[in-house]
Structure 1
């Protein structure tokens, strides 16, 4: 009992003891009470402390004045330093003293492997407006210079010797390659374009000219609508890309597809009809990886089927013959694509389902599509025709052995174990690839009785 009472007493004493923090606060409050009790006379008696405070205040004011006086000098020195650093006119070059290269054409040379041609606008010969290739003085608004060399870099140096002004490639927009050149591997050509920092690769459209040389095309193509022909060609390509008539493709895409071991590049193919007209006739499918070369061509109808199967794009109107003397034009408004990949004894099988929602633009002669049976029959006919055209496109690509459908990329992404077991030199060529269409007509337009 004694031990318990002693322990309780000690606990009471501990509770009664104020903590250190409480003791400090009590001392502070006591000091404040004493200060409040002091009279004004007693406060005035602390003169030495007030004098010290006045002296410190005066010294602080002097320091502030010095800092205020020093600020203009500091900012003026900082401004002078900025003017020295940001002055960018020391190496300026007048635009009229530069030769702006807007297009490059590359052919096979006679003496050397490459023949390189560049198109350069002549600002002094440009007229007041578009619509004429001749200036008011009668001179041409552009010029083309050519040279032959062992490599692209050497050719560009030779062209600089021939040009009267410094060649500038920052405004380059078209790269035109001749068909004989791209039929054989030429790795250094793509290597040079990928290393040139001044070239904006995402703003350059690579194209294959079919049926003639790139040099002749640069010299003879003169549309009356534009003073600089390649600006007209660039506008035509951009407008067709925006409405998805043609696939979007730049030099950056070609370079990246060439580096990627699972992809094959493609390029647009153009053909000159006459001096003032050019048309897009399809795409060129490449193969070979680092030794990239042209494998074959797809025409515009095969290109449309490829766009829907590979890029999930609508690719413009579908012209479908329904019966003898009857035709329907369907405009896709929505397209979805799904791959169903499977393997049988290391043989690749891919079923590509394409779901199309569209609206009828025209039927010749008139067909009553409000009738459910006739509408279903029209949908089945569209599916049949599109599947036949897709089979023809797939057979062409397999004959070229060019996997621009990106099936190899999907196998590597979703079936990595099978990807390493397959011999990809012959896998795409021997694959079982089927394209199935699922068409739904959503709108038939206004019809009159």
Structure 2
């Protein structure tokens, strides 16, 4: 009798699968894009994979690309739900692409529904379609990948691995969207129509919640990441360290950054703000076509020239982010935290482009490969 009583109590306590969602009843959206619509509205484009069953062998996958005009993302979701069989489900979205023109407006309203929905995938990447529309990106067909979500997500993950992009997802971006004193940047992608490929084209700079229209070029993006103290698995840079050789290739060196130490110090005197940004890099030479590194003083000369070149390039990058009024270094956040009285008196959007930021890069060459 006691066993029966225990069994009944246990059964009453079991909740069962009350919140399950059957895969056969839903259509998974793996990538979505937003563009400017008419009369202040938006156009949402989604890609939905579906697999047709086969009697013999694996099933055939088809990708359905659908667009609809709408007033809001939720309105677009409801309209798309009326166009497809089963139920629209964005819980597995990998990539969200914004058209360049739309990104120049406040982007938070576009993401609000995703942040409020507990089923949203906040690990999804955000990207901007440069010189084109998100619809064009989502509709791109590439020979190497069947799914555009897999293609773009892989492209962005590779950019993170090689220290070209921050790798921030929707969850990490949320704090920077709502907190004053810090801005952010988002990867930009571009369609190469001739090759039918999508390429990483730099980092788009944001001020508050709007894309400024300015970007950090791909060849600058590794140093740009290092200035923020962010480093992927590989950080490789090529720099011109000489003008002595007629053959241009002999004037360059390529290094892998083994270790990067960023130090940002602030001096606040009244409303006069100065930031000293120092990078200490330990690098390995992986390519030096000029050779003869065994010559006395050769490595020291490269080290000195490389430090000067990277410092000058850092000054250009700092000039770009200040011109775009994008505080990606979070200097405002530091002032707010350590100098709250000064922060209350500042109009940071007006003040930030005028403050003094002095970068300095110090390079230490630890290795130069197995060839002298």
Length-normalised TM-score, structure 2: 0.90
1:301 and 1:273 map into 2 onto residues whose CA distance is 18
The aligned residue for residue 106 of structure 1 is 34
| Secondary structure at 1:420 match in 2 | helix
Distance 1:226 1:73, change over 3 A: same
1:426 Cα deviation from its structure 2 partner: 1.7
Decide which of 189, 210, 213 is 2:110's aligned counterpart.
189
**2:257–2:284: 8 Å Cα contact kept in structure 1?**
yes
Name which of structure 1's ranges 382-391 and 181-190 shifts more when overlaid on structure 2.
181-190
Query: What pairs with 1:23-422 in structure 2 (closer than 5 Å)?
Result: 70-82=1-13, 85-88=14-17, 93-110=21-38, 113-124=41-52, 141-201=62-122, 203-219=123-139, 221-274=140-193, 276-288=196-208, 292-313=210-231, 316-324=235-243, 325=248, 326-368=251-293, 370-422=294-346
**1:190–1:255: 8 Å Cα contact kept in structure 2?**
no
Query: What pairs with 1:438-449 in structure 2 (closer than 5 Å)?
Result: 438-447=362-371
2:292 and 2:356 map into 1 onto residues whose CA distance is 37
| 5+ long unaligned stretches in structure 2 | none
Distance 1:396 1:362, change over 3 A: same
2:51 and 2:270 map into 1 onto residues whose CA distance is 65
After superposition, the CA RMSD in angstroms is 2.3
1:388 and 1:445 map into 2 onto residues whose CA distance is 26
1:145 and 1:112 map into 2 onto residues whose CA distance is 20
1:282 and 1:160 map into 2 onto residues whose CA distance is 34
Structure 1 residue runs of 4+, over 4 Å off?
A: 90-93, 125-129
Q: What is the CA deviation profile of residues 322-343 of structure 1, one whole-angstrom value per residue up to 9, with x for unaligned ones? A: 2233211111100001112113
1:439 and 1:226 map into 2 onto residues whose CA distance is 40
Greater share of residues in helix? 1
Distance 1:432 1:159, change over 3 A: same
2:7 and 2:85 map into 1 onto residues whose CA distance is 45
**1:295–1:401: 8 Å Cα contact kept in structure 2?**
no
1:348 and 1:371 map into 2 onto residues whose CA distance is 45
| Secondary structure at 2:328 match in 1 | coil
Instruction: Give the count of matched residue pairs.
Output: 363
**2:124–2:170: 8 Å Cα contact kept in structure 1?**
yes
1:117 Cα deviation from its structure 2 partner: 1.0
Distance 1:380 1:94, change over 3 A: same
**1:109–1:115: 8 Å Cα contact kept in structure 2?**
yes
**1:312–1:337: 8 Å Cα contact kept in structure 2?**
no
1:431 and 1:443 map into 2 onto residues whose CA distance is 38
1:151 and 1:415 map into 2 onto residues whose CA distance is 40
Q: Which has the larger radius of gyration?
A: 1
The aligned residue for residue 24 of structure 1 is none
| Secondary structure at 1:162 match in 2 | coil
Name which of structure 1's ranges 269-278 and 155-164 shifts more when overlaid on structure 2.
269-278
1:316 Cα deviation from its structure 2 partner: 1.9
Length-normalised TM-score, structure 1: 0.75
| 5+ long unaligned stretches in structure 1 | 1-69, 130-134
Q: What is the CA deviation profile of residues 288-316 of structure 1, one whole-angstrom value per residue up to 9, with x for unaligned ones? A: 35xx3434211113322221111342662
The aligned residue for residue 431 of structure 1 is 355
